[in-house]
A and B are shown apart, each in its own frame.
Chain A
């Protein structure tokens, strides 16, 4: 596996909601098989940044490329692009009127027009991998938060995306359920998946990241390997941000 192959390229991205820029001139490359973790104070634009990557947010200027193809233009076929860029949300966003397996199968059957039997086999395999095969016929409301989130991950995985985006996927979970979701993600990372993760779980970031990207005030302030970043952050802003965490953890 060539780690140097660029999968997703973001050049000079600017995002503005109308009252000042949320993201100003952000550039970032995601290489194949790489796990990037975006961290930063709330409101720094990291979730917005992630949502720009699959077109859920429009951008004011700049360019986004997937496999060398510009996907930020007007003529983008988002349906095709989004099959290659999976996304998992903080609030799970399972479809409450469908059973677990129907949630997982909606994409393969309606978007990719795959054979039902084949898709169902794969759905079962994936559900088994996250330990939820026995829940395949229940409705989302019968699941715990952690279980919902694992289903949401499976729903994205079954599309066979080239890259997965995780938007604070453990932020709405009870502490004891965080682990089960992070374990699934860690396993994906070990399996060579390309991932961009927005998280507040610093321990996890340290364990899973190839690169830590620190965003603040709508720009990338620092980017480094996790050991280097967490042990000796170079910028003042990153030091300050990390200090908040140590302070909080000692205070508990």
Chain B
């Protein structure tokens, strides 16, 4: 079975690459959405809350099917990779938005006032006072989302991507070595995710004891 290890390595690269792209866009979407909610921008605020409900209450698999099989019916063709990144970003964006929002909302308005009182502009207060504090509160949730999203990539095989799950299923189909293929699959995910989990735990601990944690 070990001669197929390189297949897993290739698949892991794909999973990581698409996962990283999806996570990056999720963070951007999440940040923008959380700011829209924080500033209660009319109209946009409604759109964001519809998006968040839609994104959080539909499975990634269904979202991918919609992108990959549904959209071509109306003439929109997106590559497998494109579908994977869009799907993951669509799903992750709402989770990241909630993580950012909980951080922003945790900072008392009086911090804003005391920043303004020394003459800082609103933007400066956000940059120097609100964001750093909010981010440190959001970090645990953001890290959990990163791990969650990487795990979600296991449905990418549904849109014809040769990710880890796909390789395992392929090997099972070809050689019937089900146990070995699945064991390799588990190990592959552990190798991907354990370092991230440990890094997240380290980051959280550091932030908590950074000297200012409340």
Contact = CB atoms under 8 A, between A and B. Distances in A.
A82 B118 contact: yes
Interface size class of B (residues with CB under 8 A): 20 to 34
B119 A97 contact: no
B110 A159 contact: no
A96 B133 contact: yes
A54 interface: yes
A86 interface: yes
B110 A89 contact: yes
B214 interface: yes
Contacts, number: 75
Contacts of A56: 113, 116-117
Interface residues of A, number: 30
A185 to B, nearest CB: 17
A78 B118 contact: no
Contacts of B129: 95, 97
A141 B214 CA distance: 7
Interface string B110-145: 110111111111001000110011001000000000
A97 B132 contact: yes
Contact of B114 (A80, A89, A112, A139): A89
A91 interface: yes
A142 B213 CA distance: 11
B211 interface: yes
A111 B111 contact: no
Contacts of B39: none
Interface in A200-224: none
B212 A54 contact: no
Nearest to B129: A95
A111 B129 CA distance: 14
Contact of B117 (A54, A96, A110, A139): A54
Interface centre among A54, A106, A112 (most CB of B within 10 A): A106
A83 B116 CA distance: 10
Given A86-B118, A93-B110, A95-B114, 17 more contacts: A87-B114, A89-B114, A95-B115, A96-B212, A96-B214, A97-B132, A97-B136, A97-B210, A106-B128, A110-B120, A110-B124, A111-B118, A139-B212, A141-B212, A142-B211, A155-B118, A156-B117
Q: 9 closest pairs, A vs B, by CB?
A: A93-B114, A107-B118, A111-B119, A83-B119, A87-B117, A82-B119, A139-B211, A97-B212, A96-B212
12 contacts: A54-B117, A56-B116, A93-B113, A94-B114, A95-B114, A95-B129, A96-B214, A97-B136, A106-B115, A156-B118, A159-B118, A159-B119
